[in-house]
Amino acid sequence: MKKRASIGTYLKQMRIKSWMKNLFVFCAVIFSRELFEWEKFCQAFILTLSFCLISSSVYIVNDINDIENDRKHAIKKNRPIAAGQISIPSAWTLLVCLMIMGFLLALSVNFSSFLLVVIYVVMNILYSKWLKTKVVIDCFCIAAGFVIRVMVGGTIVSEGISDWMFLTVVSLSLFMAFGKRRGELSNYGAGGTRDVLGIYELTFLNGVIFMCAGLSMTFYSLWSISQKSNLIYSVPIVLFIIIRYLLQVFSGHAEADPTDLILSDKTLLISCGFCALVVLAILYSPGTP
């Protein structure tokens, strides 16, 4: 008789650690200085929880679709579905439950956020089935996931998403996406578990990564200057974080999920936490214009 999967196995399949990426939903609320408005905070929390459930359901879609390739991968073969710890029917049941709950949570806040969540799901299904084999488009799809998270948060703030915030998130997301591809190509070569790795070249990825890193700093700096607060003083910290992340990319550590990379590098993790505290202190200190 086949042993039933434990709760821990299902939680592992949901990739709880990757939920950290969903904090991007709070970006618009934080930078609009509405974080401590109870209604806005609750709405942002609900939307973040919605994205946690939705993103977990998307991971299940990807793992079901990639089950054969994952079994050939040194690390991904240990994922519950690839390892046979969760059956395909059970995975589909979990997927549907998570997706329904995620949709209902987003809809409880407003229809705009619900629509963006639907777009996120459709895009990821297309990515899993087709777009991940299209060079460059695959990275733009990964980046779009972060952009949509920020836009979802923008549906609950008074002024929405600023132009500089949009450009900063786009360039920063592309920086992480192309960095991930470089890590995969560097560690597994063109014959890796992704067909698209046979098209990418290291020299091309190196150029794009540096371009996106530079654009990220440029857009964030211009965004900081455009603010009436002293946000410009956070620029050196963000610069340090990007340079540290670049070090990890070119050390061959970026093939993992960006969340895993940050959590595995104590210096990077502490820097991100310190940056968050500095930004909050600047934006919410008494007397800030």
Give the tens place of pLDDT for each residue, 93-105: 999 999 999 999 9
Global pTM reads 0.89
Where are the domains positioned within the chain?
A: 162-289
DSSP for the chain, please give it: -PPPPPHHHHHHHTTGGGGGGGGGGGHHHHHTT-TTSHHHHHHHHHHHHHHHHHHHHHHHHHHHHTHHHHTTSTTGGGSTTTTTSS-HHHHHHHHHHHHHHHHHHHHHH-HHHHHHHHHHHHHHHHHHHTGGGSTTHHHHHHHHHHHHHHHHHHTTSSS---HHHHHHHHHHHHHHHHHHHHHHHHHH-TTSS-GGGGT--HHHHHHHHHHHHHHHHHHHHHHHHHSSSSGGGGHHHHHHHHHHHHHHHHTT-TTS-HHHHHHH-HHHHHHHHHHHHHHHHHHHSTT--
- The answer on pLDDT for 1 being more than 50 is no
Q: Which pLDDT value is given to residue 80?
A: 83
Tell me the pLDDT tens digit for each residue of 128-162: 888 888 999 999 999 999 999 999 999 999 887 88
